[in-house]
């Protein structure tokens, strides 16, 4: 297969592009490198630097592939802004980058491209759930502009499927973590600027890059009083994307939640990091952040049942172990 991977120079997209290469497929990465890195594009993959909003460039890419007798079989779409907090300060950037730019991609696909797409969505489309674990038929009511920007894409995909026959899969998930244990020895890990995700923050403390990690509230109605969140290893997530892509040969519309199958509390993550790294990792309790639900866990039973998806990294220590290997290499002096 020949697949276009938008945002393929990033953490998740690069991992999926690498997995495609391992399976003998041709991956072409399309990325503007605003948050990705050229060296994260896997060996053997093609690379095109460009803006997702540039419909003409995408049409030219699809058309050239067809004229050369090597058309694209589909698109794996990861390019997006992801910081939910930032989306509440600058929602216009998220609607432009995540929603409007995806429309340009879809129009280019209709003009000269393939009719099969896997969309890297988010469980933020659910907002604050009425019950957990969250199922795919739960109410869709985002509480931030990031989630809304992704939900609008899902709405577009539904119409494009109905009217134009575009086959698509939307994969919804919460927190991605860990680093792929690549046979080529290339590890891609999680890092953001500024950093706001728990596992990289905790590992930064273990490396001495931060003095302590903050716990926002220890009085939630959970076993240890801290928030419980869903974590999925990036390699398990990549497996699900390829399974969904294959499933679109026989289905025209698929929606799956992806998660670890269980939630982990903030204290459990910190304790696991202490065990894996051998460092004490001081923590300080701070007041709750407004709008933080006590528990956010997605049900993956549908994906396991219908896709045959089998997460390999179900233990928190294993997820942290791979992340720790990458963090040490990244920040080695």
Average pLDDT score over the chain:
94
Strand ranges (E), the chain = 2-6, 26-31, 46-49, 74-77, 116-120, 167-173, 175-177, 213-216, 228-233, 253-258, 263-265, 283-286, 295-296
Residue for token pair 């390999």: 312
CA distance linking residue 273 with residue 278, whole number of Å: 8
> First vs last Cα of the chain: how many Å apart?
40
pTM (global) more than 0.85? yes
**From the candidate CATH numbers 3.90.45.10, 3.90.25.10, 3.20.20.140, 3.40.920.10, the one assigned to the domain spanning 198-230+261-330:** 3.90.25.10
Q: Each residue of 145-165: pLDDT tens digit?
A: 999 999 999 999 999 999 999
pLDDT band at 135 (very low <50, low <70, confident <90, very high): very high
**From the candidate CATH numbers 2.40.50.100, 3.90.1150.10, 3.40.50.720, 1.10.10.60, the one assigned to the domain spanning 2-178+231-258:** 3.40.50.720
pLDDT band at 182 (very low <50, low <70, confident <90, very high): confident
Predicted local distance difference test score (pLDDT) of residue 39: 85
CA distance linking residue 199 with residue 270, whole number of Å: 8
Predicted local distance difference test score (pLDDT) of residue 26: 96
For range 170-182, the mean pLDDT: 93
Residue 185, pLDDT > 90, answer: no
Q: Find, among 43, 46, 53, the residue nearest to 81 by Cα.
A: 53
Predicted local distance difference test score (pLDDT) of residue 70: 96
Q: What percent of the chain lies above the pLDDT cut of 90?
A: 85
pLDDT band at 323 (very low <50, low <70, confident <90, very high): very high
Catalytic residues: 146
CA distance linking residue 266 with residue 215, whole number of Å: 7
Identify the sign of the CA torsion 93, 98, 104, 107.
negative
Domain ranges of the chain: 2-178+231-258, 198-230+261-330
Residue 333 · residue 211 · CB < 8 Å: no
pLDDT band at 190 (very low <50, low <70, confident <90, very high): confident
Residue 261, pLDDT > 90, answer: no
Residue 332, pLDDT > 80, answer: no
């Amino acid at each position: 297969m020949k697949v276009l991977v938008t945002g393929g120079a990033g953490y998740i997209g690069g991992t999926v592009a690498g997995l495609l290469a391992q399976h003998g497929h041709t991956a072409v990465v399309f990325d503007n490198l605003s948050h990705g890195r050229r060296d994260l594009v896997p060996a053997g993959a093609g690379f095109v630097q460009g803006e997702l909003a540039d419909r003409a460039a995408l049409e030219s890419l699809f058309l050239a592939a067809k004229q050369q007798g090597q058309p694209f079989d589909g698109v794996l779409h990861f390019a997006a802004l992801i910081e939910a907090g930032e989306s509440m300060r600058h929602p216009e950037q998220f609607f432009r980058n995540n929603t409007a730019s995806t429309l340009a991609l879809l129009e280019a696909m209709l003009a000269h491209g393939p009719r099969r797409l896997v969309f890297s969505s988010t469980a933020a489309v659910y907002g604050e759930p009425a019950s957990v674990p969250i199922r795919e038929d739960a109410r869709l009511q985002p509480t931030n502009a990031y989630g809304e920007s992704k939900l609008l894409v899902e709405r577009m995909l539904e119409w494009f499927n109905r009217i134009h026959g575009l086959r698509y899969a939307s994969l919804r998930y919460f927190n991605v973590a860990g680093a792929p244990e690549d046979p080529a020895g290339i590890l891609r890990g999680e890092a953001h600027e500024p950093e706001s995700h728990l596992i990289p923050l905790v590992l930064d403390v273990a490396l001495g890059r931060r003095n302590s990690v903050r716990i926002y509230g220890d009085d939630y109605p959970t076993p240890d009083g801290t928030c419980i969140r869903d974590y999925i290893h990036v390699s398990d997530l990549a497996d699900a994307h390829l399974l969904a892509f294959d499933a679109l040969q026989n289905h025209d519309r698929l929606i799956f939640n992806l998660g670890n199958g269980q939630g982990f509390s903030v204290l459990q993550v910190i304790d696991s990091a202490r065990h894996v790294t051998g460092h004490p990792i001081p923590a300080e309790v701070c007041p709750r952040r407004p709008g933080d639900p006590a528990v956010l866990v997605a049900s993956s039973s549908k994906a396991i049942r219908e896709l045959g998806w089998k997460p390999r990294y179900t233990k928190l220590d294993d997820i942290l172990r791979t992340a720790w290997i990458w963090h040490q290499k990244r920040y080695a002096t």
